[in-house]
A and B are shown apart, each in its own frame.
Chain A
Amino acid sequence: MIPIFIGTSNYEDAWIERILAYTLLKNTKEKLSITWLRPKYFPDWNKVGWGTPFTNFRYAIPHLMNYKGKAIYMDCDQINFRNIADLYETDLEGRTFGLVWDALMWNGAKWRDTPHERGFFCDSVMLIDCEKAGKLIGDYEGVKNAKYGFKMDIFDKLGCPDKKKGLEHIYQLNPRWNSFDGNNTSFLPKGDTSDMEYKYIADMQPKLAPDEIWHLHLTGLSSQMWHPPYNPWAKTHFNREDLLEIIWELNRQINMITKREEFLND
């Protein structure tokens, strides 16, 4: 049984949740234990300043796993294309987390004009050693009451954003396990990108063909095609027609199952 925890909203992301769960089950023969981390299940948490409805829930996973074994975490805005058991069975080689390197992440003014200006391990797909992570993260009450920026508190302890230091505790996963909008997430375009907007640099990253993507992450809040109502940003087009076609086909397959009568009457 592979324990998978998915950070999501109460109901606003239902459209993509179905696709994520469907693809996870479709691409593996292993039994999955899927736990949805929704705000309504954590009513007394400090959620002030969170960028999503589920930002810090992922750090409760060691506690929810009773600080034993391995677990996978993922955000809900993702679609699986490869057997998730392959991720679960990744040898962490004694490290705490398995994470993908996000080469474009801007680390703020503190790191401007340093070698660590850009690049951070992303926690939107995580393979977690729950015993080790529990010791690092601390007790459940601490996570529950943590202030905004808790991720940075944890990864500071691991020496991030210094990648070399981070790699002592973090196993770097193949970027295909967390492909941001179909790109090679770990690729940093050459040249000075310090003044460029994220979107323009992301356009310079290599685009992975659909069959090269193991796990797709729809990171653009504006271009998420289900447009969750909590998102205040303008709605924009998801500019990968090849992936759009696949996503809508998956949606059609799910409707055949979940709305069978309506589908047959169509």
Chain B
Amino acid sequence: MKEFDLELFEKLSKAVLYSMGNQLNWRSPRATSYLLYDLDTPRQVKVAYNSGLPKWRELRNDIFKEIRRVEDIHESKRIIKVILFKHNNRSYCIPNHEEVRRHTYFIMKDTPKIILSKLPMRKSIKHMAMPEDDYNLIPFGKKGTAWKNIHLQRTKVGSAYSIGTEWTSILFPTEDTLYFYVETDI
């Protein structure tokens, strides 16, 4: 967990929420997402995804520099994806797991506790409005900190629901959780 330049990222997140339309992304089903940058473009498309949002174009290099500083990524390594996610009371997050990439969450809000549910997924989603006792709240870091490799957090047996493995594979961020999801080369 490392601190990043919150002011810089906030300038961007404010502009994104103000100017862009709501999108969907499978990494956090039902959440609102805003794609800013993506090198994983389909084979026949020659150009990498680079949002035309003026504030993104203005701040992109500074954002990239800060990501490299926080993540200690060499200039030769790629920043592959930048997406802003905003959660609601129905959305959940599937922490990505690829050996060749690092997945980092730049937390933008003060209420970023992640709920690891004790219940099976369907019940968990149905019962998101239940009292907090039903969930195992883990500190997801305070605003202005970057978390990486969330999927590698081991869940204690009986303390959290994990699909198929003992690694964290589904998270229920609380409503209004806001973070930049960043994928980079390792």
Q: Which residues of B contact A259 (CB under 8 A)?
A: 18
Supposing A226-B21, A235-B23, A255-B19 touch, asked if A248 and B45 sit within 8 A by C-beta, the answer is no
Q: Is A266 an interface residue (CB 8 A)?
A: yes
Q: Which residues of B contact A16 (CB under 8 A)?
A: 21
Number of interface residues of B (CB under 8 A): 23
Contact indicator per residue, chain A 231-251, by CB within 8 Å of chain B (1) or not (0): 000111111010011011001
Q: Which residues of A contact B96 (CB under 8 A)?
A: none
Q: Which residues of A contact B35 (CB under 8 A)?
A: 227, 235
8 Å CB contact of A227 from B19, B21, B42, B47:
B21
Q: Which residue in chain B gives the minimum CB-CB distance to A197? A: B44
Contact in complex: B41, A237 (CB < 8 Å): yes
Contact in complex: A236, B45 (CB < 8 Å): yes
Q: Is B139 an interface residue (CB 8 A)?
A: no
Number of interface residues of A (CB under 8 A): 29
Contact in complex: B41, A225 (CB < 8 Å): no
A238 to B52, CA, bound (A): 9
Contact in complex: B18, A235 (CB < 8 Å): no
Contact in complex: A266, B23 (CB < 8 Å): no
Interface-centre pick from A199, A227, A237, A248 (highest chain B CB count, 10 A)? A237
Supposing A247-B52, A248-B52, A252-B54 touch, asked if A237 and B47 sit within 8 A by C-beta, the answer is yes
Q: Which residue in chain B gives the minimum CB-CB distance to A263? A: B18
Q: Which residues of B contact A200 (CB under 8 A)?
A: 44
Supposing A235-B35, A235-B38, A237-B47 touch, asked if A229 and B52 sit within 8 A by C-beta, the answer is no
A238 to B38, CA, bound (A): 13
Q: Is B53 an interface residue (CB 8 A)?
A: yes
Supposing A251-B19, A255-B18, A255-B19 touch, asked if A225 and B44 sit within 8 A by C-beta, the answer is no
B33: shortest Cβ distance to chain A, in Å? 9
Contact in complex: B18, A229 (CB < 8 Å): no
A12: shortest Cβ distance to chain B, in Å? 8
Q: Which residues of A contact B21 (CB under 8 A)?
A: 14-16, 226-228
Interface set, chain B 33-76, CB cutoff 8 A to A: 35, 38, 41-42, 44-54
Q: Is A86 an interface residue (CB 8 A)?
A: no
Q: Which residues of A contact B50 (CB under 8 A)?
A: 237
Q: Is B153 an interface residue (CB 8 A)?
A: no
Q: Is B186 an interface residue (CB 8 A)?
A: no
Q: Which residues of B contact A222 (CB under 8 A)?
A: 42, 45
B54: shortest Cβ distance to chain A, in Å? 6
Q: Is A195 an interface residue (CB 8 A)?
A: no
B78: shortest Cβ distance to chain A, in Å? 16
Supposing A237-B47, A237-B50, A252-B54 touch, asked if A229 and B22 sit within 8 A by C-beta, the answer is yes
B25: shortest Cβ distance to chain A, in Å? 8
Q: Which residues of B contact A113 (CB under 8 A)?
A: none
Q: Which residue in chain B gives the minimum CB-CB distance to A238? A: B52
Contact indicator per residue, chain A 1-36, by CB within 8 Å of chain B (1) or not (0): 000000000000011100000000000000000000
Q: Is B8 an interface residue (CB 8 A)?
A: no
A195: shortest Cβ distance to chain B, in Å? 14
Q: Which residues of B contact A15 (CB under 8 A)?
A: 20-21
A173 to B125, CA, bound (A): 52
Q: Is A192 an interface residue (CB 8 A)?
A: no
Q: Which residue in chain A gives the minimum CB-CB distance to B42? A: A234
Q: List 6 tightest A-B contacts by C-beta distance, closest first.
A: A15-B21, A226-B21, A244-B52, A227-B23, A229-B24, A237-B47
What are 6 inter-chain pairs, A to B, with CB distance below 8 A? A227-B35, A237-B47, A237-B49, A247-B52, A248-B53, A262-B18
